[in-house]
Amino acid sequence: RLTSLHDTLSHRRAHGQKSLAVLLDPDNLDEAGCRHLLDLSEQHAVDFFFMGGSLVLSSRQAALIRFIKSRSAVPVLLFPSHSLHLDDQADGILLLSLISGRNPDFLIGQHVIAAPLLRQSNLQILPTGYMLVDTGRQTTASYISGTTPLPHDKPAIAACTAMAGEQLGLRLMYLDGGSGAMYPVSPAMIRAVRQAVDVPLVVGGGINTVDKARAALQAGADVIVIGNQIEKEPSFLADMSRTVRQFNQDHGLARI
């Protein structure tokens, strides 16, 4: 019996089972849009909702999480860019340490502020090595964090960064081209990181076609994250769900 989100992710990883996460940005989603996405996610399997953004301008996050939790069993994981973005209504939190950068505030500073609040909360904590990758233009995440992303064509740097993150005890790696990336993280980089660490690997940023999603899964992503393209075209959620399920079926894996 799987008791925690971390167990679920590790179990899926051990069985080569891929997952789909939909990124919900509270700034770009109103209640009607959220209702539509929840209806779609009932019809087409979604494994996780990630909730957050690099720059949260609105105060809608709490209401959106409440709304989702009242209508859906899909786990909601906070994907915060700041200690202000905690919310106990979610199921868990990707506790991101921005290991691709050298800004101490996002490596440990925000975490110190959040620690006592997290301790009091019921949130399941997923310590995550977060790696921003250069994908053609400066993203909000790299600007706001004041960090230099990993060079797109240097898989070895990404692999060593992930290795160091795993050795420090991080239990999940997230390779992110940043929301709306011009192109996704390369399969060569995903493959290099996959070979370097055992922990589950999340990949997102700029995955806006079925082929790009398939390439990321093939290269070793355990979880793919889709944000922008579903905001533009909600029916893309169905395409992504089908792609992940098809991949699992082709590899002889039943949905867990």
Least distance from ligand 1GP to the Cβ atom of residue 180, Å = 5
Count of positions on this chain that bind ligand 1GP (CB under 6 A): 15
Q: Which of 57, 78, 83, 56 is nearest to 68 (CA)?
A: 78
> Distances from the Cα of 221 to the Cαs of 36, 145, 150, 196, 214, in angstroms?
27, 24, 18, 13, 10
Closer CB to ligand 1GP, 196 or 230, in the complex: 230
Residues 202 and 175 sit within 8 Å (Cβ to Cβ): yes
Site for ligand 1GP in 147-206 (CB under 6 A): 176, 178-181, 204-206
Closer CB to ligand 1GP, 14 or 182, in the complex: 182
- In angstroms, how far is CA 4 from the centroid of its own chain? 17
Residue 131 makes contact with ligand 1GP by CB under 6 A: no
Closer CB to ligand 1GP, 220 or 253, in the complex: 220
User: Which residue's CB comes closest to ligand 1GP?
Assistant: 204
Q: First CA to last CA across the chain, in angstroms?
A: 11
Mark 91-130 with x for binding to ligand 1GP (rule: CB under 6 A) and - for no binding: ----------------------------------------
Candidate ranges 7-15, 61-69, 90-98, 220-228; the one touching ligand 1GP (CB under 6 A): 220-228
What are the residues whose beta carbons fall under 8 Å from the beta carbon of 201, sequence distance 6 or more?
Answer: 13, 172, 173, 174, 175, 190, 193, 194, 220, 221, 222, 223
Least distance from ligand 1GP to the Cβ atom of residue 184, Å = 8
Closer CB to ligand 1GP, 65 or 207, in the complex: 207
> Distances from the Cα of 234 to the Cαs of 42, 66, 229, in angstroms?
13, 21, 8
Closer CB to ligand 1GP, 238 or 253, in the complex: 238
Site for ligand 1GP in 29-58 (CB under 6 A): none
Of 93, 99, 225, 237, the one binding ligand 1GP (CB under 6 A) is: 225
Residues 33 and 58 sit within 8 Å (Cβ to Cβ): no
Residues 55 and 81 sit within 8 Å (Cβ to Cβ): yes
- CA gap 157, 154 in Å, rounded: 6
Token code pair at residue 97: 């340490």
Least distance from ligand 1GP to the Cβ atom of residue 205, Å = 4
Residue 226 makes contact with ligand 1GP by CB under 6 A: yes
Q: Which residues of the shown chain bind ligand 1GP in the complex (CB under 6 A)? A: 23, 176, 178-181, 204-207, 225-229
